[in-house]
Chain A
Amino acid sequence: MGFGVRVKVWGERACFTRPEMKSERVSYDVITPSAARGILEAIHWKPAIRWHIDRIRVLKPIRFESIRRNEVGSKISPANVSRAMKAGSTAGLTNYVDQDRQQRAAMVLRDVAYVIEAHFELTPKAGADDSVGKHLDIFNRRARKGQCFHMPCLGVREFPAAFALIEEGESLPAPHESLLAERDLGWMLHDIDFAQGMAPRFFRARMAQGVIEVPPWRGVESRP
């Protein structure tokens, strides 16, 4: 793995929403490869590269907390809109935020820390001056200095992620003792396949010694 990176990310709270429980959000037990990719992309990304998550190390015990918030709830039917447009008046298209309240609970993770191990590949969009070394240098330089395109987050933007580069040869932080036993985390979102019309792909996540091996993207089965 000559061009892999290791980044430690941590934060107060996190919410990696399970797709089957979206309205009253419930987080997965651990960060998904998809969210981990998002964090790396917040630090450095260009269309010329694609990040692949190899391994996720969980450092802290898995704990949840519930938060309920007021959110805006509804969609208006396009038919109504076209009707209103034909009529040339916006009458009947009312949608007041304070009458459009949904209180939604979210089951979020508390006090998380992970080490993301990843590498990237060049994509067909890579030009002549795109080399693996160049992008790796940019990423390492940025992560070392705490630079980022935008502040990475732990699933949702209200939970910012602090991050630090783990240098080559630096030892990895040890997982918490509660994570040492092998644990089956069930089917978990691997990533969204944007080439195939946003089809989600899943993998069977198993954690041993706090480490989750993420299968390569190409070998992942997609389940409708």
Chain B
Amino acid sequence: MPRYGMVIDLSRCMGCRACMEACKVENNTPQAIFWMYVFRFEEGEFPNVRQWFMPRPCMHCDNAPCVKVCPVGARYKREDGLVATDWERCIGCRYCEVACPYGVNYFNWKRPDRNYYLDWGVPELRSITSGAVPPYRNPDLDQPYGEEKRRIAGGGHVKGVIEKCTFCVHRVEKGKLPACVANCPVQALLFGDLDDPESVVSRVLRQKPHFRLLEELGTEPRVFYVGGKPPGPETRQIEPVRARM
């Protein structure tokens, strides 16, 4: 069984946010929900300034506080390291959202499925969809995954259910990379088996100093950052943030 993890090379990231959009198109996340978010920082004074970006997916912690607090066992840790949400079982209590120090959980307050697209309910458009009015989405999201055969890929997109980054479990199980990783134009995101010494993630972690976010909390995140540093007191956020941190 592989042990999946992600390495994010801050020295490469250009803050283009292709990862965020790739996540949108792959996982059909509803409006204002960002499973992947790129935080943007600046430091220093003109002309000695510095700017840097920090992509933030779910950390898929080994000691995940969200898993511990879930009263119904909807949030669980898979053997391969993925922290998954069985949205069929989620009761929307939002304990996980409170417990997570990284702000990666999003609650669906509304029915999210009609957020973006043409209103295909318009009679003149029906011909295209053979009369159906689809909330359209990546069909892979509706499969059961893992040995447990649980519904974890779509993250729900259902009113009253929590959702977050799944490490693209539906792709990973097919041997593909998560969408953000596969699309980052500058290959700042790397993904693979931390137990395989030959995997790209293991090699990078051997070669480069790295850190994890809020390491001191003991959550044991599976996301490692190289080529930079965590934001400190001298760091200023560049723009109003559209995600929680």
Q: Do A and B bind each other?
A: no
A: residues with CB less than 8 A from B are none
